[in-house]
Amino acid sequence: MLLMGTPQRKKPLKKEHALRFADILSKSYGQPNSEKHRAWAQEIVALLNATYPEDAMIKTYATSVLANIGNYRGLQLIKTRYKNTSFLDELYQ
């Protein structure tokens, strides 16, 4: 891929970075591309959840992303105990 005229190597993506990016995208409101951002956020957590179905951190982020977007059917499918707490509270319980 060329970026600013220089070739860029593909680097492995860390799960934590992808999850944080999805969380940020899910909070996009009132911008021209908000719908795309929110769709990308759902896709990221759906793919990670399918790839790592037993990962608790992915499930926690997925519940946050889906709640931010208002995808309550998706929340039911994730099958986690969702509480209206911050992500950090959920991690340290």
Residue 3 lies in a domain: no
**Cβ atoms within 10 Å of 19's Cβ, excluding its own:** 23
pTM strictly above 0.75: no
Question: ∠ CA(29), CA(13), CA(74), 5° rounding?
Answer: 45
E-assigned strand segments in the chain? 2-3, 6-7
Residue 92 lies in a domain: no
Residue 47 lies in a domain: yes
Predicted local distance difference test score (pLDDT) of residue 43: 95
In tens, the pLDDT along 15-63 reads 999 999 999 999 999 989 999 999 999 999 999 999 998 888 999 999 9
88-91 long-range contacts (CB < 8 A, ≥24 apart) are 90/60, 90/64, 91/57, 91/60
Sole residue written with tokens 């990670």: 48
Domains identified in the chain, total number: 1
Residue 7 lies in a domain: no
Mean pLDDT for the stretch of residues 74-79: 80
